[in-house]
Amino acid sequence: MPEDLCYEKSRNGVYLKVKVVPKSSKNEVVSLIGNRVRITVNAVPQNGEANAMLERVVADFFGIKKSDCTVTAGRKASQKTVFVAADVAAVVNKLNATFYGQKY
């Protein structure tokens, strides 16, 4: 497993490192770029609209409530950190299976 992962586990969830592309045609988790998950959103980066859509896309990806996803760093930058308050093992398994081709 790579040392520089796109996530960091915590006791109550996972901190997900993302690269957001606003004003895209789709809202989706696209790929892994280095140690960040590339996510496109169709919202504009004004008044927190792109951040709110990012939280929604991440929640949909993990099958959890939007209120369980919070942008914790990079609110005005394209590189952000999103805290995912969910079962750590389930989140890590989904990320590993999707981006690293492994399941634990």
pLDDT of residue 2: 46
Query: If we measure between CA atoms, which residue out of 8, 12, 31, 11 comes closest to residue 21?
Result: 31
DSSP H stretches of helix in the chain:
49-62, 88-95
pLDDT of residue 101: 80
What is the mean pLDDT of the segment spanning 30-54? 96
Q: Which pLDDT tens digit goes with each residue over 63-91?
A: 999 999 999 999 999 999 999 999 999 99
Q: pLDDT at residue 103 above 60?
A: no
Percentage of the residues of the chain whose pLDDT score is greater than 70? 94
Q: pLDDT at residue 104 above 60?
A: no
The answer to whether domain 7-97 has CATH 3.90.550.10 is no
pLDDT of residue 100: 86
Q: Are strands 7-9 and 28-33 parallel, antiparallel or unpaired?
A: unpaired
pLDDT of residue 1: 37
- 37's enclosing H/E stretch is strand 36-40
Provide the phi-psi class of 13: left if phi over 0, else alpha when psi is between -120 and 50, else beta.
left
